[in-house]
Structure 1
């Protein structure tokens, strides 16, 4: 890696926080240029198949259309001189193909046809990676759901303890959310994975009388679909892709924040893994900072912030508007790199997640039984009525909070309560395990449903 690289995502010091090697390999400069060269070669092959250009010319162009065969320094210099993103690459390919074959390079095409189709090819490779990462993360969360199916903990609403739940149910909920993203990826693919072959102004005029046949031949060779109309000024396909990455990023950030919160000193219910060589703080040796979770949060929030900008590119003028279109050149690689790194780090967190069931039980006991107030109120609602029972229990809760006395002790001292409930029944009602509802069954249903998808 170039130590003078000006892109923060590629900095020597932060590569362990943003991106991952697999996704970077898909979206580096060489691969992007190779995708455009692949489109140029495929166009020539399809034209030869239809007898539009000589077969030998297509073979020569295909052989020449390799990044390693081109003078990239010359391409870079030419780009600065021409102020054009693709012409330097076309010129280099034309030179590499030679005089006879070079005359057929880029025949009938326009820059955006080649670049957009190339970006679609890269997006397909990126989606393959994201899909695999989601599958792995779902598998890890399923294991937690099964292992902790009956591990009781406090559910929290409005930032406070609410009722008992299980860690297994929380993991099951998380994995079903990721499963829905997996479904969205599958639904996106046929809309996104199409060629762009509109020609200079979207009429396909430059491709000649057999333009539709040529379009189908190019699409078939690239393994893509055919768009019903040119989409130079309607980039909603790419925008939908980036929006979906934003949704996935939001889920990733949520999960990272869950672990971040559970690992607080005062909570201590779950912690991200720590290597022996890992440094938590440069000055405080006792710190075990959740750095992977923080990296996920940073990457995901950065990615989500790009979604409104991506949507803005849909406000394109006339039949082509590169004033907004060029924005996607930057957003597509960066967003894929950010989500690739975020999902990798999140998988590492949950693969090695240290769950502390004892601390979960201890935290449940911290309120002295107040988290079971609903269970007590509903049991009293039968003989007393719901509203009187709610009023009675709320008053006892307030006394507990004001005086510091145990909720259970106050219940046992209340004549209205003891007239209905025995001490043994109260003890059972104040056992967190007795009031996790259908948590285990919900885990089973969630995992059975995900297996069927």
Structure 2
């Protein structure tokens, strides 16, 4: 590859920086055009089995040349023909002179184009699902480890009732479980386009088989089976319905919202120094501020996720504007949208897996933050304890109100620590409960059923899902980011 091509031409960051080699291969020219050729082989095999004059020698010749693609010759042909499929038909025919007459027999361009897209979409989902399961598995272990660790909950980004680190993690996992379900449903619903002809009527194949409709039906089923699908779409125009793309990109876009939400939370927690993503010993946080430990992985996930979210509108608008049996204004858009959606999702998941495998919690910082807010949160419990000890609720409420205002002034006006507890200890009025005050202020008593909810969620929701991926989870490896 020339220096000019590498450094003076555009290359997508998804391929040079972010996405995995496996996902890049699925959307590569080599894989795409080799799959076209394989589809021509399958078509020939199916047509031969149903009585058309196609020899084993022709099929073998085609099969032997599936991967040996002359890209320069194909590019030259396309410049002449302005037709990518026919360019590759011509090049393949030159490589397979014995089979030249039967390549692409009865088919339209979408036979190879759309069926290849469906095969790639299937394999791409199959690549993403185990990655997603691995993240859920890592977060599950994290949730178990910290299921009892109290932490401040937040509503309106203001301190609220306590939760636990593990319970908050389960909120992230629940979103990812929904994403796994949506992607798995897309995978299960995915079908082959099969052999449907130029407008989906199978007219060309009906001519090939002299009006024998049953053979046309069998041809469609045979090719579908050879492609590894159980069913083909019952009806199509020239293309499979772009509604399929809407569903798949919709699921990926929804995954993007989950990733963005979780990584936004991590960025907020990193700012509070409560939880940090992995940070390598040689990593530089800032060119100007050497002390910084920026959450660059979470920020990368958010950036990729936002791009992923925006791609949904492309898929939706493409489907909405397909006129009648098809128009070609979907082509350039889908070349970008389908590949970028999967490459972005793949990159975000790989980065999120790296994050989830190395999250670092700082309990002492969390405890300090709790100590700053818990005295205010505990006032109702103090009042209840005093009432049990015989005090008048209204009098106690006023006492607590005054002390709380004084403590609040120390925090807000003078930047001091919250000293409400010390004020309560020094006030003789509260002497009846002073021996119980530490128990009343125990953070564990303010987290409700958070710990139990983690256990229930693990048993009822997480483990049944992970059971589906037990084989892939056996080979889970620690992910390192190259860049």
Correspondence for 1:324: 330
- Separation in 2, partners of 1:371, 1:133: 40
- Separation in 2, partners of 1:414, 1:314: 71
- Separation in 2, partners of 1:158, 1:346: 26
Correspondence for 2:420: 407
Correspondence for 1:30: 30
Gap change, CA 1:110 and 1:428, over 3 Å in 2: same
How far residue 411 of structure 1 moved from its aligned partner, in angstroms, is 5.6
**Is the deviation greater in 290-299 or in 227-236?**
227-236
Q: How many residues align?
A: 443
**Is the deviation greater in 319-328 or in 342-351?**
319-328
The one of 6, 10, 20 aligned to 1:6: 10
Q: Does 1:81 align with 2:43?
A: no
The one of 366, 371, 376 aligned to 1:365: 371
**1:10-409 pair list within 5 angstroms:** 12=16, 15=17, 18-56=18-56, 58-60=58-60, 62-68=62-68, 70-98=69-97, 100-208=98-206, 209=212, 210-224=215-229, 225-230=231-236, 232=239, 234-264=241-271, 267-315=272-320, 316-367=322-373, 369-373=375-379, 375=381, 397-404=404-411, 406-409=419-422
Task: Say what the alpha-carbon RMSD is for the aligned residues.
Answer: 2.9
State whether residues 62 and 99 of structure 2, in contact with CA within 8 Å, keep that contact through their aligned partners in structure 1. no
Correspondence for 1:444: 455
State whether residues 183 and 252 of structure 2, in contact with CA within 8 Å, keep that contact through their aligned partners in structure 1. no
Give secondary structure in 1 for the equivalent of 2:286: coil
Per-residue CA deviations over 1:359-378 (Å, capped at 9, x if unaligned) read 11111112352243565578
Per-residue CA deviations over 1:138-169 (Å, capped at 9, x if unaligned) read 11001101111111111111112111111111
- Separation in 1, partners of 2:218, 2:19: 40
Gap change, CA 1:365 and 1:97, over 3 Å in 2: same
- Separation in 2, partners of 1:369, 1:11: 52
How far residue 88 of structure 1 moved from its aligned partner, in angstroms, is 1.1
Gaps of 5+ in 2: 207-211, 412-417, 466-483
Gaps of 5+ in 1: none
- Separation in 2, partners of 1:385, 1:44: 91
Per-residue CA deviations over 1:314-355 (Å, capped at 9, x if unaligned) read 111111112134421221111111111110011101111111
**Is the deviation greater in 114-123 or in 49-58?**
49-58
- Separation in 2, partners of 1:390, 1:195: 72
**Is the deviation greater in 205-214 or in 386-395?**
386-395
State whether residues 114 and 196 of structure 1, in contact with CA within 8 Å, keep that contact through their aligned partners in structure 2. no
Give secondary structure in 2 for the equivalent of 1:125: helix
State whether residues 45 and 55 of structure 1, in contact with CA within 8 Å, keep that contact through their aligned partners in structure 2. no
Give secondary structure in 2 for the equivalent of 1:273: coil
Gap change, CA 1:10 and 1:76, over 3 Å in 2: farther
State whether residues 132 and 176 of structure 2, in contact with CA within 8 Å, keep that contact through their aligned partners in structure 1. yes
State whether residues 60 and 101 of structure 1, in contact with CA within 8 Å, keep that contact through their aligned partners in structure 2. no
TM-score after normalising by structure 1: 0.89
Structure 1 runs of 4+ aligned residues shifted over 4 Å read 373-399, 409-415
Give secondary structure in 2 for the equivalent of 1:161: strand
State whether residues 61 and 102 of structure 1, in contact with CA within 8 Å, keep that contact through their aligned partners in structure 2. no
